[in-house]
Structure 1
Amino acid sequence: MSEIKKLYGIDTLYFFFESNENYDNLFLDILDQIEDIKGKFEKREIEYENNDISITIEDIHLNYLGKKEGFYWFKDLNEFFRIGFKDKYKNRGLNDIRVQLQGNGIYTLGISSLITLLKDMLKGYISDYIPVTRADINCFIQYDLSFISKDMFSTRKRKYSTINEIGDANSTQTIYVGKEPFKLRIYNKGLELKKSKKYELMNEYFLNNDLSLDKPLFNIEFQMNRTHLRAYEILTVEDLLHNAKNLFNQAMEDIRLIDTTSITDDTLKHNKYKAKTHSLWQEVKDEFNIVSFLQSSICLKRVKRKVSIYDENRFEFEYIALLRKAFINNLLIDSEYLSSLFTKAKESQNKTTSNKELKKRYIDIEVINPDNSKQHFRQLEDKTIIEPIKTISVSTLSDYDLLRYLEKVQLKQHESKRNKDIYEVALKEALKRDLVPNVSTKEVHDEHLV
């Protein structure tokens, strides 16, 4: 055994859940949730995209990705997995629930914890049978494999003979051997991660396992699809996990890295299968072990918590989604209001934001005007007096209350741009309900003044 560091695992795992007789209830509930959100957008005549739609299953929030091959696809907030659901009465040759575990989940929580999470989420709708459809069994190796060329591989099976090489005159960055349902990929993992959003995640994973992205790091990975796995009687995820070592060893035999110095040039050209297996290849094969990888698990209660790296992209996505939600519910949101929230958020960094403490930060003041009308203000800690910003969802008002509210805001519409916007929102809702004549805005103004 050399001192070359190696880290084995399963880099990708796709599988089905077998549904039971209750599954149709879940599927119909999913469709109802999708249509309910679409209906809100359509009612307000607002265009929507897939990422504006989300559903919840057993307190797990899933964002909609779209429909493909008959499946409605979703991903969780942390992008630990993707899951697809289809109509049980269509394409009956396929199972109804399809799952793709993502690298974020595999290298953060572990395969065992993710499967437990999903089984818990789908409890009551699935059986214990989990057919596997794809697995990528791999070895991360702290070694520079750029010396490898496509001429250094030997396989006696015609279907594995396709070999592609990506690199330059001095080094190889990526090699593909074979094609689906079984193929080998060898590539520079460090170079790949330089352009990946998963850099921080994988860097932490490697550091925890005594590997470093500051040194050459390559990935030796065998992709095995369903047809290939079935040839070895690997039908379920359980079969795969129990037989991962045998599958990997056989793959290393089927596609060998050879020692080109062990045979003559003529033999290398015509009968390279006679060459000896490269010592490094043999070493990777002999040392395969994923016991510690599979034991990587986490308590289900912790899995259910939101664990993610929050960055600008995530903030932008959530911020836009939140504003769109406000718009379709006719909440009055403008730059002045958002600016006030920004100020509050900045101030809250060094202060508690609990309801109890917030109430202590101002005093309610009621002012009675000469005409006996009342106004409400707040006196802040620095003695500044402000008028509270009010947001009213006009879509929730009854017809009578909406008309009264419209009359009230119409009288103040000329006082400021904000008041003008408030009036326009209320007027739009009234027009939709046919509560006021559908004429020009100016004519509606005049009619209300009569």
Structure 2
Amino acid sequence: PAAPAEPAVTTPPSLADIATPTPTPGPGQPTGTPTASPTDASDQAWLSIQDLYPLFTNLDCSDPAQRTGGVVDDPAKPLVTCSQDGLAKYVLGPAEIEGTDLNSAIATQASNDQGFATGGWVVRLNFDAAGADAFQALTTRISTLTAPQNQFAAVLDGLVVTAPSVDQTFTNDVDITGNFTRESAEALAQQLQFGALPISFTVQTEDQVSATLGTEQLQRGLLAGVVGLVLVVAYSLLQYRALGLVTVGSLVLAAALNYGVLLLLSWLQGFRLSLAGVAGLIVAIGVTADSFILFFERVRDEIRDGRALSTAVEAGWHRARRTILISDAVSLLSAVVLYVLAVGNVRGFAFTLGITTLVDVAIVMLFTHPLVALLARTKFFGSGHKWSGFDPEHLGSVVARHALHHGAHRPTVAERRAQERAKAHSGAGDGTAAGPRDSHDSEDDA
């Protein structure tokens, strides 16, 4: 019997082959030289380069992978490339005008010879002195050629942006015409304008970070918010004593409302809290505390002027309300402007700042002010206890200073009536006439 055949030996691909995939064909430039010396960029002699035809044949402009751009071409050599939409394939001669020779490219409405708008849109090019001379020479030469040699192409990232035909000589202020809409004309103008900027990018440094960096930074941001909240609470209790508990309650309620709003937005709109959003929440702690401090200090000012606490609360709120609303309006306007004009993480900061500002207005109006008004009716706060934060003597009330100056306290209504009855009894004992006591005095004695 015949010996069994040896199994075929297959060589597995090397690691270098796996790490370096086969490059995808695309726009490129030939490396050879023409058989005859071309006289200009439109000379057919450029087509005699040996490897130019294979480049043109293998280029499939219908394949998006071959139209990714990013080609850095040599302006002194021909270029085989596609249009950006993949509908046309070109063999272009060497570049005759650099993008740096273009001063501006703007989208404007087309006009006739009399200067009246015709309703269409054009892209107007303006060159510097060197670019204008080169463009005049180019259009003078190709305007007499047949299609497609009478076209010039604007190339960006190795792909043709536009390739208009020329039928006359131009010097400067050239209008590219076509079936443009306003949007398409502006898009082409921006590509030509910003593509003319001499910008290049070189990697200077590269850092690789772990996937847990975002989680770590978010945790640190939340920790910073907790530290800021603790400091605000500590300051409020130290400065306003028992009144500081109102600040604590307001901040807790504001935090709950903000959390609820963010959860609702996450459920309805897919909102995700970023590190910039956490920064907006931290800033909101200061905005909210500022509203409380402004209100409390206005009430204290009224107490210093000698008002009773219940009256001081309403008078202080009347003075503080407008300032609080103006401050929050400025903060909200800043958030809106940032959200509209900014991009990326800055919009997350502006979004949370706007939400917390609206919550601050609601808390101050519907919780803080009514709560302080209710506390003013209690004995602890209404009597001006030294730990209430509304102690007239501690605040330097004009009434308290007057009483201390005379070594006495301000008499109550009952004490003043008792003093009046004592004077009346003293007058009767001295033989002075005294009329009958009315029923009101009898009720007071009783």
Output the TM-score relative to the length of structure 2: 0.18
Higher helix share: 2
Q: Tell which has more relative contact order, 1 or 2 (C-alpha 8 A, sep 6+).
A: 1
